[in-house]
């Protein structure tokens, strides 16, 4: 599906065996099978957004567009990421009112 992120690629200089493992995992995870490339990229955009990885979001959104994703599809993926990530805040907030 593409190269590893720059920081994973850089690991090849320090630990080639580890880098090879990262490549194998990436190849397994990113090889389209049940999900098409566009869907995989939209999921990756949402995951990076939920982690706060802005540069990853930028790169992956560009790749998603190249794979045929519309801005509306990207917006929806980002909304879903916020919805899921925000639920942790709601859950933790209940502790302020927990009587048990």
Same domain, 95 and 47: yes
Same domain, 50 and 88: yes
| pLDDT at residue 52 is higher than 70 | yes
| pLDDT at residue 1 is higher than 70 | no
Same domain, 60 and 96: yes
Same domain, 10 and 58: no
* Full residue range of the structural domain in which residue 93 is found: 35-100
User: Of the candidates 14, 59, 23, which has an alpha carbon nearest to the alpha carbon of residue 41?
Assistant: 59
Number of domains composing the chain: 2
Task: Give the pLDDT score at 16.
Answer: 95
Same domain, 44 and 77: yes
Same domain, 45 and 17: no
pTM of the model: 0.83
What confidence tens digit (pLDDT) does each residue in 12-51 have? 999 999 999 999 999 998 887 899 999 999 999 999 999 9
| pLDDT at residue 78 is higher than 70 | yes
Please tell me the distance from the alpha carbon of residue 57 to that of residue 49, in angstroms, as a whole number. Answer: 6
E strand residue ranges, 1-100: none
Could you tell me the sign of the dihedral formed by the alpha carbons of 34, 39, 43, 48, in that order?
A: positive
């Amino acid at each position: 599906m593409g190269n590893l992120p720059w920081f994973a690629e850089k690991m090849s200089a320090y630990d080639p065996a580890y880098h090879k493992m990262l490549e194998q995992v990436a190849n397994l995870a990113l090889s389209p099978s049940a999900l098409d490339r566009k869907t995989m990229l939209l999921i990756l955009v949402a995951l990076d957004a939920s982690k706060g990885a802005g540069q990853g979001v930028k790169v992956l959104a560009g790749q998603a567009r190249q794979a045929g994703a519309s801005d509306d599809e990207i917006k929806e993926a980002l909304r879903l990421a916020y919805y899921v990530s925000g639920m942790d805040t709601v859950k933790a907030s209940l502790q302020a009112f927990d009587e048990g």
